[in-house]
Amino acid sequence: MALLIRNGEIVTVGSRARADIFVENETVTRIGKNLEASAGVEVIDATGKLVFPGFIDPHVHIYLPFMSTFAKDTHETASIAALIGGTTTYIEMCCPSRKDDALAGYELWKAKAEGHSACDYAFHMSVTKFVEETEAQLRQIVADGTASFKIFLAYKNFFGVDDGEMYQTLELAKRLGVIVTAHCEDAELVARLQQKLLAEGKTGPEWHEPSRPESVEAEGTGRFATFLENTGAAGYVVHLSCEKALHAALAAKSRGVRIHVESVLPHLLLDKTFAERPGVEGMKHVMSPPLRAKKNQAVLWNGLATGAIDTVGTDHCPFDTEQKLLGKDSFANIPNGIPGIEDRVNLLYTFGVKRGQLDLDRFVDAASTRAAKLFGLFPRKGTIAVGSDADLVIFDPEYRGVISAKSQHVNNDYNAFEGMEIEGRPSVVTVRGKVQVRDGKFIGERGRGRFLKREPSHF
């Protein structure tokens, strides 16, 4: 069915104008003033609203066997939560462990999503070992449309690769034109520091941050950058959390290294005192890299404002209270992860745009357009233009609300951002022209989401 969105303020990177948007056959077919609606066309009045391109979360975990348990969401729950929060596309980390076969893992992750997601999705393929069959398998996965890899320098013996495997992955990525995303913390240092702290009887969640200090992340970031420099591959540092790591990335960039940076919502808005709360309250705020000293937040916001930090993701990774308690005797056993897929856009708008830390242009860029460009989705996604998919967020800047686990759609029993006030939220969200969300409620078609095939673009 055709859709006409009338009189909204359309915001894309580099442009802002009041106009109508006409949608047919899942795509935007016309943008202009006073477009006519023929009979049977659904009309939405967007007067007083901002109209954004559908937001893209470039870093989520949905199906994830990790730390003796599984992340809580399914594609049904995560995609509905994502859409209610204005995210119309997410890129999930496909994470088979070192003991698993990569290709079998890829098929498993795809099967978990297929027919279950209400929004569109893609994958970053994790390379968690590099053995004889890896190159052929990765070539097959790229040919299938998954044109980005993921490596972990952390999580020794589980997801983590050694330097030789990192080199082989980057060297292959360069040949294939594939960008490599990386979790940059040195696994050996983390393991040693964990052992030392636990031996001293320091077992609570407040010791998670000291077990993986800023210098450990800066080292991982610098080493990843050096490997990019010497292979010529393009890279993307996920969930960068602190000033020291940002310096390492930007120093490499200034030498011409093709390195990009993502920050995630928890590091922008929460600090390490949340993880220092006693007992399970602290455990709820354990993720890696850890929540940092508050002074880092201003540096991250400034990096975002200037574009030195490219994107904002969530690293959405829900474990409930009972799962967090797996780490009651040792912080090293607390399942790492903080969910945020539902709240990213509203919190970024509130604490970024409304608080004057981010202009509207960078907001759209960081939460949508830049990810689309880096990960081979632009201009199908990440903008509003004739020919683009009609993923549209009609955003009400006058809405006022409070984040609460009681009203969330993510499959979890707490919300790390509990009590934060939001100023603005999506009032209508479309996926390829179909209204999926209206006024905070999912009213659309479950399973509408499609796997997005992407071409390599980083030669």
Which of ligand URP, Zn ion, none does residue 337 bind (CB under 5 to 8 Å by kind)?
A: ligand URP
Which of 179, 112, 102 lies closest to 140 in space, CA to CA?
Answer: 102
DSSP per residue over 78-120, as a string?
A: HHHHHHHTTEEEEEEEE---TTS-HHHHHHHHHHHHTTT-SSE
The one segment of 65-73, 314-322, 350-358, 371-379 that binds Zn ion by CB under 5 A: 314-322
The residue with its CB nearest to Zn ion is 183
**Residues binding Zn ion: number (CB under 5 A):** 2
Q: Are 327 and 335 in contact (CB under 8 A)?
A: yes
Which of 92, 10, 84, 119 lies closest to 313 in space, CA to CA?
Answer: 92
> Which of 11, 23, 122, 317 is in the footprint of ligand URP by CB under 6 A?
317
**If 0-12 CB within 10 Å is exposed, 13-18 middle and 19+ buried, where does residue 370 land?**
buried
Tell me the per-residue interface mask from 164 to 193 with Zn ion, x by CB under 5 A, - otherwise. -------------------x----------
315 lines the binding site for Zn ion (CB under 5 A)? yes
Residue 145, sorted as left (phi over 0), alpha (psi -120 to 50) or beta, turns out to be left
Question: Distance between CA 25 and CA 5 in Å, rounded?
Answer: 15
Of 169 and 336, which has the nearer Cβ to ligand URP? 336
Which of ligand URP, Zn ion, none does residue 336 bind (CB under 5 to 8 Å by kind)?
A: ligand URP
Q: How far is the CB of 343 from Zn ion (least distance, A)?
A: 16
The residue with its CB nearest to ligand URP is 336
Q: In the β-sheet with 259-264, what is the strand arrangement from edge to edge?
A: 55-60, 87-94, 120-126, 148-152, 179-183, 235-237, 259-264, 311-313
> Residues 213 to 242: which contact ligand URP by CB under 6 A?
239
Q: Which residues contact 15 (CB under 8 A, 6 or more apart)?
A: none
Q: Are 27 and 457 in contact (CB under 8 A)?
A: no
C-alpha angle 204-207-208 in degrees, rounded to nearest 5: 105
Of 90 and 378, which has the nearer Cβ to Zn ion? 90
315 lines the binding site for ligand URP (CB under 6 A)? yes
> Residues 252 to 271: which contact ligand URP by CB under 6 A?
none
Which of 165, 92, 162, 89 lies closest to 125 in space, CA to CA?
Answer: 92
Q: How far is the CB of 337 from ligand URP (least distance, A)?
A: 4
Of 183 and 362, which has the nearer Cβ to Zn ion? 183
Which of ligand URP, Zn ion, none does residue 342 bind (CB under 5 to 8 Å by kind)?
A: none
110 lines the binding site for ligand URP (CB under 6 A)? no
Q: How far is the CB of 321 from ligand URP (least distance, A)?
A: 16
Q: Kindly report each contact of residues 402-408 with a partner whose C-beta sits within 8 Å and lies 24 or more positions away, as own/partner.
A: 403/343, 403/346, 403/347, 408/81, 408/342, 408/343
Of 315 and 343, which has the nearer Cβ to Zn ion? 315
336 lines the binding site for ligand URP (CB under 6 A)? yes
Which of Zn ion, ligand URP, none does residue 142 bind (CB under 5 to 8 Å by kind)?
A: none
Which pairing describes strands 392-402 and 421-431: parallel, antiparallel, or unpaired? Answer: antiparallel
Q: How far is the CB of 49 from Zn ion (least distance, A)?
A: 32
Question: Distance between CA 86 and CA 363 in Å, rounded?
Answer: 13
Which of Zn ion, ligand URP, none does residue 367 bind (CB under 5 to 8 Å by kind)?
A: none
Q: Are 312 and 267 in contact (CB under 8 A)?
A: no
Question: Distance between CA 51 and CA 234 in Å, rounded?
Answer: 32
288 lines the binding site for ligand URP (CB under 6 A)? yes
Q: How far is the CB of 239 from ligand URP (least distance, A)?
A: 6
Q: How far is the CB of 117 from Zn ion (least distance, A)?
A: 18
Q: Are 389 and 359 in contact (CB under 8 A)?
A: no
337 lines the binding site for ligand URP (CB under 6 A)? yes
Which of ligand URP, Zn ion, none does residue 151 bind (CB under 5 to 8 Å by kind)?
A: none
Question: Distance between CA 267 and CA 338 in Å, rounded?
Answer: 10
Q: Which residues contact 256 (CB under 8 A, 6 or more apart)?
A: none
Of 186 and 315, which has the nearer Cβ to Zn ion? 315
Q: How far is the CB of 65 from Zn ion (least distance, A)?
A: 14
Question: Distance between CA 162 and CA 151 in Å, rounded?
Answer: 10
Two tokens at 413? 């029993």
Which of Zn ion, ligand URP, none does residue 324 bind (CB under 5 to 8 Å by kind)?
A: none
Which of Zn ion, ligand URP, none does residue 285 bind (CB under 5 to 8 Å by kind)?
A: none
Of 208 and 450, which has the nearer Cβ to ligand URP? 208
DSSP code of 197? Answer: H
183 lines the binding site for ligand URP (CB under 6 A)? yes
> Which of 61, 324, 381, 434 is in the footprint of ligand URP by CB under 6 A?
61
Query: Which residues contact Zn ion (rule: CB under 5 A)?
Result: 183, 315
Query: Which residues contact ligand URP (rule: CB under 6 A)?
Result: 61, 183, 239, 287-288, 315, 317, 336-337
